[in-house]
Chain A
Amino acid sequence: MSIVENFDLYAPRLIDKEEYFSAGHRACQGCGEALAIRLMCKALGKDTVVVNATGCMEVISTMYPTTAWNLPWIHVAFPNAAAVAAGVEAGLKVMRRKGRIPDRDVKTVAIGGDGGTFDIGFQALSGTMERGHDVLYVCFDNEAYMNTGIQRSGATPFGASTTTAPAGVASSGKGQWKKNITEIMVAHNVPYVATACHSYPIDFMNKVKKARSIKGPSFIHCLSVCPTGWRVPSAHAIKMGRLAVETGIFPLYEVEEGKYRMTYRPERIRPVEDYIKGQGRFRHLSPDELTAIQKRITLEYNKLLDKVDNLHSWGELQD
């Protein structure tokens, strides 16, 4: 075994031992989103203000009169997490200028689920990115409105059965493809956009640290497995995230000033069937639909590889 492999193996022991998202929160067993939040807080450290859109994470972490957060935290309505984060950032800037708070680097982080990012909170997010506030937005994408009972959202993948797009005789789950939020954020010309998954914790934490160090808006799209909504055993939460990456459904990459870079490139792309057959929400899919999904996933993955190979960073394009 090489030194590098050894380092990777023992890397979990090097991370911050402080828990900013304490135990006792009421997430379901095996919640990938709670895990992702815990890792994100470890990477951010204590000088952080968290703005939380409505969603699973708000509901499970703060059962009044208790809170699971050890960081300053504010809950806002579904559509305006990014707008409130922009306000918090501007407020901190003014208070620092007037000498009311000590002059130290405090990062404002907005978090939201896929409903609060893809659908309802989209215009506020777009506005914050456009105005260029020093805000990190992390989207925890569990691919439906899990909190209210698995309704379809813009992030639900093709063919997934949800309570508002149920599979049956007449329909086979959601009939539309998933919205590519990462590309939309890249189109806002923000300095840092990345995708991540909690199944690759060191990679995810490195991306959060990088985004924290950047001055200006940044966006991280984190796939988080929901065992309840995806109909998988709670023990398979990490495995499903890993399969999503290895099948090419959710490639891990980052876009730094226009330059695409794959942070994890599987040696061999597995067939999407490996990912789909383990989940109850896809159990009704016919072989034809599976072929269609495979075709689309391969196309999207190749499109991404093309961008990785051919696109240059803004600095290179300037002269």
Chain B
Amino acid sequence: MKKKKKWPEDWQDLNPGCMVFEPGSAREYHTGSWRAERPIFDESKCIRCGVCYIFCPEGCISQNKNGYFEADLDYCKGCGICAHECWPRAIKMIEEG
């Protein structure tokens, strides 16, 4: 079986009009490596309102089985919007590393 190429290697590999046939394929790239700070969710303070979920520009925050919100750190860029907007202050940004 032919191995799937990550990107076209020469011009013959390009689709006509540079069309992309795989929707949402940007998920292959993990923007989490850009992050300088990571969000830490404190479940004792969280009221499960979903403000962090609606304001996340990446759409990487989702609800887990218990109904609390958590960030997918593969994609979180560490902008800090969730921590700034969370009014029960359940989210803290801490430095990476």
Contacts and interface: CB of A to CB of B under 8 A. Distances in A.
A62 B20 contact: yes
Q: Which of B24, B31, B84 gathers most chain A CB within 10 Å?
A: B24
A35 B56 contact: yes
Contacts of B53: 12-13
Contacts of A26: 26, 29, 31
Given A65-B8, A67-B25, A69-B24, A23 B84 contact: no
A317 B23 CA distance: 48
A21 B59 contact: yes
Contacts of A302: none
B33 to A, nearest CB: 11
Interface in A129-182: none
Q: Which of B53, B57, B60, B77 gathers most chain A CB within 10 Å?
A: B57
A236 B84 contact: yes
Interface in A27-70: 27, 29-32, 34-35, 38-39, 61-70
A19 interface: yes
A22 B59 contact: yes
A24 B34 contact: no
Interface in A1-34: 9-10, 12-13, 15, 17, 19, 21-27, 29-32, 34
Given A15-B54, A30-B57, A238-B55, A63 B26 contact: yes
A61 B55 contact: no
A245 interface: no
A38 B25 contact: no
B80 A68 contact: no
B56 to A, nearest CB: 7
Given A34-B57, A64-B20, A65-B20, A23 B51 contact: no
A35 B56 CA distance: 7
A87 interface: no
Contacts of A24: 26-31, 75
B58 interface: yes
Contacts of B77: 29-30
A197 interface: no
Contacts of B79: 29-31, 227, 234-235, 237
A188 interface: no
A239 interface: yes
Interface residues of B, number: 40
B42 interface: no
Contact of A13 (B50, B55, B83): B50
A25 to B, nearest CB: 5
Contact of A22 (B26, B48, B55): B26
B55 A234 contact: no
Nearest to A199: B55
A91 interface: no
A26 B18 CA distance: 19
Contacts of A233: 80
Given A13-B48, A35-B57, A233-B80, 6 more contacts: A12-B51, A25-B26, A34-B57, A63-B29, A67-B22, A234-B80
The 9 nearest A-B residue pairs measured at CB: A235-B80, A12-B50, A30-B79, A24-B26, A12-B54, A68-B26, A23-B75, A29-B79, A22-B24
Interface of A: 9-10, 12-13, 15, 17, 19, 21-27, 29-32, 34-35, 38-39, 61-71, 201, 227, 233-239
19 contacts: A10-B49, A12-B50, A13-B49, A13-B53, A15-B54, A22-B24, A22-B59, A24-B30, A26-B31, A34-B58, A39-B54, A63-B26, A64-B20, A65-B25, A66-B26, A66-B28, A67-B26, A69-B24, A235-B84
